[in-house]
Structure 1
Amino acid sequence: MKLLRWLLIPIVPIYDLITRIRNFAYDHNWFKSTSFPLPVIAVGNLSVGGTGKTPMVEYLIRLLRDDFKVATLSRGYGRKTSGFVLANNQSDAITIGDEPFQFYSKYKDVTVAVDEQRVRGISQLLKLSNPPEVIILDDAFQHRKVKAGLYILLTDFNNMYLDDLLLPTGNLREAKKGANRSDLIVVTKCPHELSDIDKKHIVDRINPLPSQKVFFSKIVYADKIIGTNEELSIDQLKSKKFTLVTGIANPEPLIEFLVNKGLEFEHLAFKDHHNYTAEEIANLSGKDLILTTEKDFGRLKGVPQNLYFLPIRIEFDKKELFNESILNKVNLLYRRC
């Protein structure tokens, strides 16, 4: 696969030209970009693959929901429906996508919707009898038909956009210059012990604009796993035979965490957003204990009571400053509306 990607390197300049023309057209108002009369926050990245967008959206939900009526709007990648769909009690990962279903399952006080056309989706949300006051757009950094009030760009510490190449040889969706559209840049999945010198080196490499702020975040795993009917401590897994099932872009941090805990397990890896078949679920049902990610948990509900997930959250090195940056911007946009 890597060889094929390098063989495709002659296509990179063509892809670069197309994306640059597209961005130039939006920058100069040749293509229409729609603004809305409420704070809209766009969370995204420059690269394909997992950079931690879902934990970031959940962090924003928890930060904002006490003061504002919050809605999330996603494309609903992997769903079997189309158009605007508002999450309800009959929704599942098939009808709205795994990540929106996770939002809906955890945050009942938040409106969750999906639409591949974000302008239409926002318009539909604003027509609700109890419309949102803040909308969080998931994976929308390149969706320039919407002009958000705040852009949060994520980049994985282990695969920063600074070191990547454009598609199809690399994983970048657009040129690195696209980072200039962001208000906040968050380096995600950092080591738990990252020195100030290392952080400064990264900031110097990013070379943010005067208007931009750079933050660092890390993944924190829970000390317990959650099943349909019970919870177990991580330490209890030391005496159990279990299977790790992942359908995410990069399971390596999770694998590393479990190995460092001294756990032994079988790992079954599937592609990101994998929709498990009835046959796969039937095969998994024969396992003694299955540990999976929270995102996969919603797609594996056909597995009986031996299914558990490991919750994660993100922590910031400068939590107060990050929260303040978000709240000040949202309050400013809200007053303007």
Structure 2
Amino acid sequence: MPSGLAFLLLPFSWLYAGVLAVRNWLYDMGWKRPATFAVPLINVGNLRVGGTGKTPHVTWLVEELLRRGHRPAVLSRGYGRRTRGPRLAGPADSASTVGDEPWQYFQQFSARQVPVAVAEDRRLGVAQLLHAHPALTVIVLDDAYQHRAVQPTLNVLLTEWARPFYQDWVLPAGRLRESRRGAWRADLIIVTKCPPGLSAAAQAAVAQRLGRYGRPTSPVVFSAYEYARPRALADATGESRAEPAAPPARTPAPGPALLLTGIAQPGPLREYLESQGYTIQHHACFADHYAFQPADLAALRANWQPGWPIFTTEKDATRLQAPELRAERDQLPFYTIPVRVAFLDNGAATLRQLLPGAPTPGN
């Protein structure tokens, strides 16, 4: 049971969970019907608010679909953007117009002709994508697990190793968007951010507990993060820049460093940097999707000394590209740490078996 204030909030959690349970029941019984489309929809979502690793898993899926010869697209809600309604991402957009995660997808995949769109109503977003790109063969839905108005072909549910949903409670007593029973809709459950050497016995124990809520036929697989070498922010964005006060080295040497994050779970990145020999002298930690301000970078600079690298995430880097930040940003040696997914044991093979096969010639 939750303790302290969370315990007092339990009645509100039960009320919230009850409302969602009624809505889900209406869909399950067919009283409300989700929209279906001519192309497969692969949803990557979670039960918990933020921080389960959706972005790198969506990236893995898009890369795998491209490898198979598909013409994929990505559709997201576009959380934190200053626009509304369906919108196709284009070169003139930014994190402020489409959201930080969709803008990250656009920067990663636009050269490979992968459309990215945002829409609060996923039905409108899918329709817009198919109208603008009729040759699409699959659409990856980023964070649409609770968006029952569309019917995914494959429902992938993520839960963190350190914070599995079976140890959490529905909002506001906990961080779950709906009750644990929502896991029944999952076709596959991925336990994310696992220790790379997680034993088979530990995996089996977690899979057994997850099995109490998921379907018996839904596999449980495990994934870990792999971090790539630091990349200078100017190289990652492709921007031209004025000569900085402290030009960044291509590979910063271990030693003192700063960290700037605006993500839900910055702990794993900090732990990784410390394991690589960096001593984090100051961590400017902001809420998920936080829009950085010039004053934030000025405060960061006050804690910085020449020769110290400043690390951030690829997602945060999309918001650091805002024009109003350029004067402060270009005076500091920012580096992004690319993160990718590595599945444990046969997890990747299990997921690949559930993906749509290669498209037929002419599609």
Query: 1:59-108 deviations in whole A, cap 9, x for unaligned?
Result: 00100013111100000000001111111111110000000000000111
What secondary structure sits across from 2:253 in the alignment? helix
- Alignment partners' CA distance in 2, 1:227 and 1:15: 42
1:203 corresponds to: 207
- Aligned positions of 1:51-200 closer than 5 A: 51-66=52-67, 67-108=69-110, 109=112, 110-200=114-204
Q: Work out the number of aligned pairs and report it.
A: 330
> How far did residue 279 of structure 1 move?
2.4
Match of 1:258 among 269, 273, 276: 273
Gaps (5+ residues) in structure 2?
236-247
Q: CA deviation at 1:238?
A: 1.8
Taking the aligned partners of 1:101 and 1:68, their CA distance within structure 2 comes to 21
Task: For residue 135 of structure 1, give the secondary structure of its aligned residue in structure 2.
Answer: strand
For the aligned residue pairs, the C-alpha RMSD in angstroms reads 2.1
Once residues 272 and 358 of structure 2 are traced to their aligned partners in structure 1, the CA distance between those partners, rounded to angstroms, is: 40
> Which residue does the alignment assign to 2:253?
237
TM-score, L = length of structure 1: 0.92
Partner residue of 2:38?
37
How far is 1:40 from its partner? 0.3
- What's the CA shift string for 1:177-235, capped at 9, x where partnerless? 110101010000011111111111111111243321110000111133333147733xx
Q: What amino acid sits opposite 1:123 in the alignment?
A: A
2 CA distance for matches of 1:275 and 1:150?
33
Structure 1 residue runs of 5 or longer lacking an equivalent are: none
The one-letter code sitting in structure 2 at the alignment partner of 1:270 is F
Read off the aligned partner of 1:7 and give its amino acid letter: L
1:225/1:231 contact within 8 Å kept = no
How many percent identity over aligned positions? Answer: 39
Contact 2:292–2:319, Cα closer than 8 Å, also in 1: yes
1:222-277 CA deviation, whole Å, 9 max, x = no partner?
133333147733xx3324x4310010001111111122223112111000000112
Q: 1:26 offset after TM fit, Å? A: 0.8
User: What are the within-5 Å matches in structure 2 for residues 185-334 of structure 1?
Assistant: 185-207=189-211, 208-229=214-235, 232-233=250-251, 236-239=252-255, 241-265=256-280, 266-284=282-300, 287=304, 288=306, 289-301=309-321, 302=326, 303-304=329-330, 306-317=333-344, 318-327=346-355, 330-331=356-357
Assess if the C-alpha contact under 8 Å between 2:54 and 2:158 holds in 1.
yes
Q: Distance in 1 between matches of 2:338 and 2:265?
A: 16
**Whole-angstrom CA distance in 1 between matches of 2:352 and 2:227:** 25
SS at match of 1:167: coil
- Residue 319 of structure 2 aligns to a residue whose secondary structure is coil
TM-score, normalising length: structure 2: 0.86
**1:155-185 CA-partner distances (Å, limit 9, x unpaired):** 0000001111111101111111110101010
